[in-house]
Structure 1
Amino acid sequence: MKQKDNLLAWRALAVTVETGNITQTALLLDLDSAKVSRLLAGLEKDVGFELLVKNKRPFIPTDRCRQILPMVIPLLDGFSKLDEFCEGTSHKILIRFSAPVEMTQQFYSQELMQYSRLNPRVQFSMLPEMTVRDLLNGDTDIAVVNHSPADQSEIVTRHVVSNSTPIFASPQYLEAHGVPRTPEDLSQHVGLLQVMPNSAPTMLLYRDGVPSNIIHWREIYLSHDQFLIRNMVLNHQGITPDLYLGHVVRELKEGKIVPILPGWERQNWNMHILARRDRYLSDPAIRDFVNWFSQVENKGCIERIMAARSAIEEARAKGLVPIFK
């Protein structure tokens, strides 16, 4: 059989493009390294051009290889599904999905249900936010986190979106306690801060990319719960730099929550969806979902942020955002 007609040869190529390493490809495909090398060499001979740049480590695909991979990957995934069907293993697939709880409650759960409607075999178990260590330990299949992990050797990451947020308070709090004009003025105020498994409380604000001094608060209250922080702001209990815009669109439109310290915002949340590299390479269900979610949630998050910022301008135009002297 010519290797270009051999699905295993194409799968060896696809996996090697991801791993950059024949030894790791052999481990993932349960083959010996020599066989992987023969499959790849035979494939290059049959197609008539080089598929991998082998004088660099890790291996990288050639330009022509990059052109044909988008045609090859769907075929490999399709044959994997055909094998499952023919073997009678076309059963439900449960994907354990971890993410910040409030995001899942308000947004992600709808997207997961949408995905299950498009892919009836796939179901989800929704878990609280977890760390890279939890992912590598097998406690979850997918992790959505608000940072880009420094060590990505054992994981695949897909960037979802980056966004920041203004500093928020209620008009009643500002009337009672005064309006801070600079980040340094926050030392006279109560800070409502978020602390999460993957992030520390906000210590700096940024304006035009320039950081403030370290923020000092008169008092601080810490919570992992965005909804609790939102309720504390609505109850006039403090100021927060950590409230996601998508959670307060209605409150911004109604002027119940208002931005302060014009131009200053918290550091970006950099949302990523993560999967273990071996699972991503070997399991089409994981790979397909990761790629789908990163695109769909990118669009959804951008729409929510735009709606929130439009709500601020709408409230300001209606005179719902007080001008404090």
Structure 2
Amino acid sequence: MGITAQENLTAWKLFRELVHYGEITTAANALDIDAGNASRLLTALERDLGFAVFDRTKRPFVLTREGKQLITNVETLLEGERNLKNLYRRVQKGENVIRIHLGICTDSDPSFLFSLIEEYAQIDPSLEICLIDRLGLEDVQNGAVHLAYIPYLAKRQSVLCVPVTTVFMVSVASPVYLERLGRPKTPQDLKNHVALQRNDPGYPVTTGLWKHNYYQAIEPKKVWYLDNHIALRAAIEGKGIALDLPFSLTEGAIKDGSLVPTLNGWHRQCWHYSLVCKYETLHKYSNLGNFMEWFALRLQNFEDLQWRSGYKLCHEDFPIFTPDGAVDETL
């Protein structure tokens, strides 16, 4: 018994190419197959699925509602096929397991990162990733780690820097603190409050807050300089208003009511994270680049979800930027 169209990887490759090109002949050429066969394969795929994946009355073809629901999983399927082929080639060449040390900054969620490492181990068992806490760019440069996930964009000629995520920062305080001293509504109101701020090497001190495209300077009554984890604890204990905390670090406390968002959506400028690796390391380990690309995409997807859930949880009307650069304020 032959395989069905929906079990045929070529059919899904055609689906992906049609999403990109929107035209049978061009998509067929990209796969080096006959256009007539490609058309019949698409028809068979839709017959097996029981619904149309493209509206073929339009030029270029447009995904149907059902087709849109498939695209992410199709990309995952075809990415898995590519990774499996890469693994076959490495096994055929007799390559051994390679152990890579990944340094992560203090603010990273180790549980989430470890879950990604576990997931990638199923994709490429020949690459063993070891997570190491509190290491950064300098450790990449001196060879202590092979790559690092750091909270800034590194500019070094010898180092590849891959921008990964933009982190949503939120201003929070405990209900007890706000009941005692009142809730500030604007950055100017901080003149009556204690601010819990960060002052680490490579991390500019917060001197103002943003809301949409508006910026206002701040002059708190008093400032305590703390790292993020100590600032989180101090805020929960009612010591002041934390201005520099990423949403991912405060999400649990906001959900359980230990902290509440303040300042009506004014927040510290968003922070950029990146993956860094020396070029010579990439040349030495051929499959490390595949991991970096996969890891960066997974982290981007995770942070996008954090942004969206962050806006909703904080009850703020922040704009959310869509992939095409438009502003979506409907969520």
Task: Sort the TM-score into its range (normalised by shorter chain).
Answer: 0.5 to 0.7
**Corresponding residue for residue 223 of structure 2:** 219
Q: 1:107 to 1:79 in 2, by over 3 A?
A: closer
Normalising by structure 1, we get a TM-score of 0.64
Counterpart secondary structure, 1:186: helix
Shift of the 95–196 alpha-carbon distance from structure 1 to 2, 3 Å rule, reads farther
What corresponds to 1:237 in structure 2? Answer: 239
Change (3 A) 1:268 1:111: same
State the Cα distance separating 1:86 from its structure 2 match: 5.3
Change in 2 beyond 3 A, CA 1:152/1:78: farther
> Corresponding residue for 2:10?
none
Provide closer, same or farther for how the CA distance between residues 301 and 208 of structure 1 changes in structure 2, counting only shifts above 3 A.
closer
Counterpart residue number, 2:179? 175
Within 1, Cα distance between the matches of 2:237 and 2:141? 40
Match of 2:125 among 120, 128, 133: 120
Matches of 1:271 and 1:121, distance apart in 2: 27
How many Å apart are 1:79 and its aligned residue?
7.8
Are 1:209 and 2:200 an aligned pair? no
Give the count of matched residue pairs. Answer: 235
* C-alpha distance after superposition, 1:159-212 (max 9, x if no partner): 211133231111110111222233233233222223445423323212333332
User: What is the alpha-carbon distance in structure 2 between the residues aligned to residue 86 and residue 154 of structure 1?
Assistant: 32
Q: Give 3-state SS (helix, strand or coil) of 2:264's partner.
A: strand
Q: Which letter maps to 1:161?
A: T
> Contact 2:174–2:258 (CA<8 Å) still a contact in 1?
yes
Residue aligning to 1:298: 300
- Render the CA deviation track for 1:23-49: whole Å, top value 9, x for unaligned: xxxxxxxxxxxxxxxxxxxxxxxxxxx
**Percent pairwise identity:** 21
CA distance in 1, matches of 2:100, 2:109: 14
Q: 1:197 to 1:122 in 2, by over 3 A?
A: farther
Instruction: Name the CA shift for 1:107/1:197 in 2 (closer, same or farther; >3 Å).
Output: farther
Q: How much does 1:143 deviate? A: 1.2
Check 1:288–1:198 CA distance in 2 against 1; reply closer, same or farther (3 A cut).
farther
Question: Does the C-alpha gap of structure 1 residues 140 and 196 become closer, same or farther in structure 2, counting only changes over 3 Å?
Answer: farther
Given that 2:196 and 2:231 are in contact with CA atoms closer than 8 Å, whether structure 1 keeps it comes out as yes
Q: Equivalent residue for 2:260?
A: 258
Match of 1:267 in 2: 269
> In the alignment, residue 113 of structure 1 is paired with which amino acid?
E
Contact map agreement 1:165 1:242 (CA 8 A) in 2: yes
2:149·2:276 contact (CA, 8 Å) conserved in 1?
yes
Structure 2 vs 1, CA of residues 137 and 206 (structure 1 numbering), >3 Å: closer, same or farther? same
Give the deviation of 1:133 after TM superposition. Answer: 2.9
SS of alignment partner, residue 201 of structure 1: coil
What's the CA shift string for 1:100-132, capped at 9, x where partnerless? Answer: 234142421211221123222222222234343
What is the Cα deviation at residue 238 of structure 1? 1.3
Closer, same or farther: CA 79–109 of 1 in aligned 2, 3 Å = closer
Which range moved further: 281-290 or 238-247? 281-290
SS in 2 for 1:297: helix
Distance 1:160 1:258, change over 3 A: same
1:258-311 CA-partner distances (Å, limit 9, x unpaired): 111124111111111111122224422321111111100100111123223222
Say whether the 8 Å CA contact 2:194–2:220 is kept in structure 1.
no
Partner of 1:200: 204
Q: Does structure 2 conserve the Cα–Cα contact (< 8 Å) formed by 1:234 and 1:256?
A: yes
Q: What per-residue deviation string (whole Å, max 9, x for no partner) do you get for residues 128-162 of structure 1?
A: 3434332111121111122222x342121222111
- Corresponding residue number in structure 2 for 1:187: 191
Aligned-partner residue type, residue 200 of structure 1: P
